[in-house]
Chains A and B, each alone.
Chain A
Amino acid sequence: MHANENFPKANTRLNRIKIISRGLKVLFLLYFVCAGYFLPLVHKTPDGFWFVVYGTYATFSNAPTGAKLIVVLAVGVFFAAVITGYQLLNLYEKGIIFSARNVQLLGRIGYLALGYGLLTAWGPALISAWYVWINSSVSLLNPVLWGMTAFLSSPWIIGGLFVVVISRIMDEGRKIQEEQELTV
């Protein structure tokens, strides 16, 4: 018998977790569909130009290969995080909260968010450094300062760290559950 069966309050919360997980799964799918229209680090300016990572170009194909590579990497990391999140919510929906797989998936989401944050923070700085290198008139301090401020103010980096901590805490929870199952 599961320990939570003795506690109606815990059961209610477990049911709530299952319902919210189902709702979040739908949201994740919507996000997945919408993400096709909103590429990270790319947006169209009101005057019809394309802003890609750092600079503005007439068309997307005019952007340098380095910038395109950063966009492709960011899209890959983003989709990997969405798929991992979906897998994790699937487990929560089944009522599996403390398992090794959950911990692994949570940790992966944390590291992917960290990676995405680093890409969005350092991507523009790298492209800016490239411009500095080919055009020596600009000071080298600019991309370094940009990178530092973007790194410190990125919500993805601190969010990623937060998820990594949560995955470690869930690992502790998993151990407690394992111990409890052995005791019962």
Chain B
Amino acid sequence: MKNFQNKAKIIKVSKNIRSILFAGLVLWMVSIPVFLFPFIFLPEEKMPSYMICEIGGRVLLASLGLVVNLKLFRFFDRLKNGYLFDAQTVGNLDAAGRWWIVLWLFQGLFYQIEYQFFGHAMVWGGSGLFAGLILIFVSWLLKEAQELQEEQELTV
């Protein structure tokens, strides 16, 4: 009975987090075309090189953010459906961590270029790397549980 309650709680909280992540997904999807608006509507002569660099960088940042959000969304979607320890669930979490680290690296590059060439404020921190590493670490822990479950299924 207690086991069932625990699983029900996981499903309930996952459902809520999944909804928040879905809202994030929609925001990323909207933000990418919005960033591209100047490319579509402004004539070429009114587009200085720094603007092209800025827009291109922001679109790439938003795309990477979308991928991280999508992987986390899929992870919580699997949890919501009751798949706690399977390769796909763990894989989604691991991929989210790896993409977050890629996003962090690209953020560093983007803000460094902005700081060096256009004098914008440097706002790059280590939180993205930390979050990515934690996700990968948690995915390893879940992988252990996945193997335990597979062994148990073989034994039974």
- Measured between beta carbons, the chain A residues less than 8 angstroms from B131 are 159
A156-183 vs B, CB cutoff 8 Å, 1 = contact: the mask equals 0011011011101111110111011001
Contact of B10 among A7, A155, A169 (CB under 8 A): A169
Interface of A is mostly: helix
Instruction: Give Cα A124 to B65, complex, Å.
Output: 28
Contact of B147 among A7, A171, A175, A184 (CB under 8 A): A7
B137 touches A171 (CB 8 A): no
Instruction: Check if A60 is an interface residue, CB within 8 A of chain B.
Output: no
Instruction: Give Cα A98 to B84, complex, Å.
Output: 15
Instruction: Check if B107 is an interface residue, CB within 8 A of chain A.
Output: no
B79 touches A176 (CB 8 A): no
B148 touches A173 (CB 8 A): yes
Instruction: Check if A69 is an interface residue, CB within 8 A of chain B.
Output: no
- Measured between beta carbons, the chain B residues less than 8 angstroms from A24 are 137
Q: How far is the CB of B116 from chain A (nearest CB, A)?
A: 21
B143 touches A176 (CB 8 A): no
- Measured between beta carbons, the chain B residues less than 8 angstroms from A3 are 148, 151
Instruction: Check if A41 is an interface residue, CB within 8 A of chain B.
Output: no
B84 touches A165 (CB 8 A): no
Instruction: Check if A138 is an interface residue, CB within 8 A of chain B.
Output: no
Known: A16-B140, A166-B138. A172 touches B145 (CB 8 A): yes
Task: Sort chain A's interface into a size bin.
Answer: 20 to 34
- Measured between beta carbons, the chain A residues less than 8 angstroms from B92 are none
Q: How far is the CB of A58 from chain B (nearest CB, A)?
A: 25
Count of CB-CB pairs between chains A and B under 8 Å? 84
A17 touches B147 (CB 8 A): no
Nearest residue, chain A, Cβ from B142 = A169
Instruction: Check if A20 is an interface residue, CB within 8 A of chain B.
Output: yes
Known: A168-B6, A175-B3. A162 touches B17 (CB 8 A): yes
Which B positions have Cβ atoms within 8 angstroms of A?
3, 6-7, 9-10, 13-14, 16-17, 20, 76, 79, 84-85, 127, 131, 137-138, 140-145, 147-149, 151-152, 155-156
Other than A166-B138, A169-B84, A172-B6, give 18 A-B pairs with Cβ distance below 8 A.
A14-B144, A16-B140, A17-B141, A97-B141, A98-B148, A161-B13, A172-B85, A172-B145, A173-B141, A173-B144, A173-B145, A173-B148, A177-B148, A180-B155, A183-B152, A183-B155, A183-B156, A184-B155
Q: List 19 A-B contacts (CB under 8 A).
A: A4-B147, A10-B147, A20-B137, A97-B141, A98-B145, A158-B17, A165-B79, A166-B138, A168-B10, A169-B142, A169-B145, A172-B84, A173-B144, A176-B145, A176-B148, A177-B148, A180-B152, A183-B152, A183-B156
